[in-house]
Amino acid sequence: MSEAPAIEAEGLVKNYGKTRALTGLDLVVPAGTVYGLLGPNGAGKTTAVRVFATLLRPDGGRAQVLGHDVVNQAAEVRRRIGVTGQYAALDEYLTGRANLVMIGQLSRLTASAARRRADEMLERFSLTDAAARAVKTYSGGMRRRLDLAASLIGYPSVLFLDEPTTGLDPNARAMTWELVRELAAEGTTLLLTTQYLEEADQLARRVAVIDGGAVIAEGTPDQLKSAVGGEHLEVVLAFGSDVEAAITAVKPYATGSIQPDEDGLRLSVPVTAAEGLTTRVVRALDNAGVQVNDVTMQRASLDDVFLSLTGHLSGSEDDSEGSDAA
Amino acid sequence: MSAITAELVPERDVTYGRSPLSHFAADVWVLTKRSIARIRREPETLADVTIQPVIFILMFAYVFGGAIALAGGGNYHEYLIGGMLGMGLAQTAPGVAVAMVTDMSTGLIDRFRSLPMSRWAVLAARSIAELLTQMIGAVVVAGVGLAIGWRVHTNAADVIAAFALALLFGYAFTWAGICLGMTLRSPEAAQQAGFILFLPMIFISCAFVPIQGMPGWLQPIAEWNPMSAIATACRKLFGNPNPAAAIDSWPLQHPELAVLCWSAVMLAVFAPLAVHLYRRKALG
């Protein structure tokens, strides 16, 4: 699946009055993958998604979805996308089924196809039992599921998920993750925004870190992690071990300076991960007569990536995204 | 398990390729059905065209009516219905505003805008659903009117003309309500704004009381108030007591024409404005 990218943005700029929501965002999302947009509140994630979904006209730059310009060919884009926002966009007074049939028909399905498709989706999202109830009687998790179903009813090739798991309980979150994986397996391109580094790590093939309305880092989760400091071995020494001897023993394997912790029982050894490395280090320590309680390979988390790139932790910034300018 | 995405949806399952007009009509129909379904599930949403006019009619007929003297005489119950008809239909506008704000704030309008549907179908469907509601309101007003002694003294053509004018007038107000809804942020604000804007408009008119009893400085405002035009037109066409006919003011001398003009002006201003506001919201 290495044909034309599903989403391509060049120098996107969007201002809300004096607030600069996007400051020249560049992005290439390959077709058929799960792509994560990662950033704190106010970074511009939602604004970017709204531009791609033809809901917002950019002030500068251009964006294409499946080769169609989001401004000049919005109609072409709309027939190929599905959008799920942070809040369930449903008619509270209609039944779950009536909502899906309505969205299906407005997605240009014929009435009978919309009904068939609605029943399929209700089944797939385990909502068949609640199908005849008004949405206002639904729980939060059921609404999200129905909302997802609604965004899929028109057979989208590209699906935008704007913070799909924000506010969900762990069960519902696991379900959403499972669904994302299924959709990706079926060939859908998914662009997913999240504040949760773990979520991006779990789901996304590639990740763009956004801060201040532009992409500040891009790559696979692994690339991002190694760019930030890569791996290190955590060596826990037995009480009373010779720290100096231990450092000397592991030095040949280190790619940087070795940091013992305050009580001298734990060493953090920067390394380049390789086959059998841990074994060799343990053997070297053993040969040097150092008693070891534990050796584990530690990899930088996306949290570390985020912290080192932006200088603050994800979600620690609380200014609002430009979404209220809708 | 059914595959969720398909690059190619079966040709016979989609309506692409039909004319834009047929798409527009289909979308308007789907969305109008949505509003009707809502009314069927929650008939209390019709309160503003059913219970509310009934309360107004009964209050004015039996509480205030006795204290209101009609210049030139005449039965107040017969006088009341002409005013009530226009007022009853126009006062649904705040409800339209609330419905629009609600759709905006729940993100439903955003969802509609991300679909390949006709862009103005949302507004057109809202106005048509409201027209259907107003027809129910007109029937309620006429029914209660007949029960309290209101009678028409003209022919069927005049009565039909009166109802048609009232519905046209109400339809024009719907577009004002849509505009109002699009400029406000919360359903509560829409409710408040509707109350503040429409209440003076209803009462500084001859909808319930003759203009002759108002202070001189207020009379020109009441005379040119569109609400007076519709009340006077209906009274004239029903052959009911119509004190305003004695006032030498253009809209009261030509009330049917005045209603047509006011409706045309309101539609010409508010319909394009509604579309503009919708577009502006759409494009951020």
Query: What is the DSSP track for B195-247?
Result: HHHHHHHHHSSTTTS-GGGS-TTTHHHHHH-HHHHHHHHHHHHHT---GGGGS
The answer to the question of residue B11 being in a domain is no
Binned at pLDDT 50, 70 and 90, residue B204 comes out as very high
pLDDT score at B131 = 95
**Residue B5 belongs to some domain of the structure:** no
| pLDDT over 70 percentage in chain A | 93
Asked if the model's pLDDT at residue A102 lies above 80, the reply is yes
Q: How large is the average pLDDT for residues B102-129? A: 89
pLDDT at A149: 94
Q: B206 in a domain, yes or no?
A: yes
Q: Is B90 on the interface with A (CB under 8 A)?
A: no
| Cβ–Cβ below 8 Å for A155 and B12 | no
Residue B162, SS3?
helix
pLDDT at B275 over 60: yes
pLDDT at B2: 44
pLDDT at B60 over 60: yes
The backbone torsions φ and ψ at residue B40, rounded to the nearest 5 degrees and listed phi first, read -70, -35
**Is B10 a member of any domain?**
no
Residues of B in contact with A53 (CB under 8 A): 114
Domain ranges of chain A: 7-80+156-225+307-325, 231-299
**CA A154 – CA A144 distance, rounded (Å):** 17
More reliable by pLDDT, A323 or A62: A62
Residues in chain A closer than 8 A to B42 (CB atoms)? 93
Predicted confidence at residue B6, as pLDDT, reads 47
- Confidence band of B198 (pLDDT split at 50, 70, 90): confident
Contacts with A, B 53-82, CB within 8 Å: none
- pLDDT greater than 90 at residue A242: no
Cross-chain Cβ contact B26/A53 below 8 Å? no
Among A106, A117, A158, A324, pick the best mutation site for testing chain B contact (most B Cβ within 10 A).
A106
pLDDT classification of B1: cutoffs 50, 70, 90: very low
Distance CA B68, CA B62 (A): 11
Using 50, 70 and 90 to split pLDDT, how confident is the model at B20? confident
Q: How many CB atoms lie within 10 A of CB A220?
A: 12
Most confident of A23-27, B92-96, B184-188: A23-27
Contact B12, A116 (CB under 8 A): no
Please state which of the ranges A139-148, A263-272, B183-192, B266-275 shows the lowest mean pLDDT. Answer: A263-272
Please give the CATH topology (third level) of the domain spanning A7-80+156-225+307-325.
Rossmann fold (3.40.50)
Report the domain count for chain B: 1
Closest listed residue to residue B235, CA positions, set B38, B77, B20, B36? B77
Distance CA A202, CA A217 (A): 18
Parent domain of B85: 20-283
Average pLDDT over residues A178-184: 91
What is the per-residue pLDDT for B192?
87
pLDDT at B93 (0 to 100): 87
Token representation of residue B220: 């020109």
| Model pLDDT, residue A313 | 57
Record the tokens describing residue B201, joined without a space: 């408009």
pLDDT at B53 over 60: yes
Nearest-Cα residue of chain A relative to residue B5 = A155
Q: What confidence category does residue A325 fall into, taking pLDDT thresholds of 50, 70 and 90?
A: very low
Q: What is the mean pLDDT of chain B?
A: 89
pLDDT score of A230: 66
Q: Which pLDDT value is given to residue A316?
A: 43
Q: Examine the pLDDT at B9 and tell me if it is beyond 90.
A: no
Residue A314: which pLDDT band, with cuts at 50, 70 and 90? low
DSSP SS3 for A64: strand
At A229, is the pLDDT very low, low, confident or very high (cuts 50, 70, 90)?
Answer: low
Higher pLDDT, B283 or A31: A31
Topology (CATH level 3) of domain A231-299: Alpha-Beta Plaits (3.30.70)
What number of C-beta contacts closer than 8 Å exist between A and B? 126
Decide if B15 is inside a domain. Answer: no
Q: Which of A134, A120, A82, A123 is nearest to A103 (CA)?
A: A82
Q: Please state the rounded mean pLDDT for residues B201-220.
A: 92
Q: Which region among A53-57, A288-292, B7-11, B176-180 has the lowest average model confidence (pLDDT)?
A: B7-11
Which sign, positive or negative, has the C-alpha torsion A92, A95, A100, A104? negative
A56: nearest CB among B115, B117, B283: B283
Per-residue confidence band for A3, with pLDDT thresholds at 50, 70 and 90: low
Helical axes B121-147 vs B255-283, angle rounded to 10°: 140
Which residues 6+ apart lie within 8 Å of A220 measured at CB?
Answer: A205, A206, A207
Q: What is the mean pLDDT of residues A177-183?
A: 91
pTM of the model: 0.80
pLDDT digits (tens, 9 = 90+) for A119-138: 999 999 999 999 999 999 99
Name the percent of chain A lying above pLDDT 90: 46
- Asked if A146 contacts A88 with a C-beta cutoff of 8 angstroms, the reply is yes
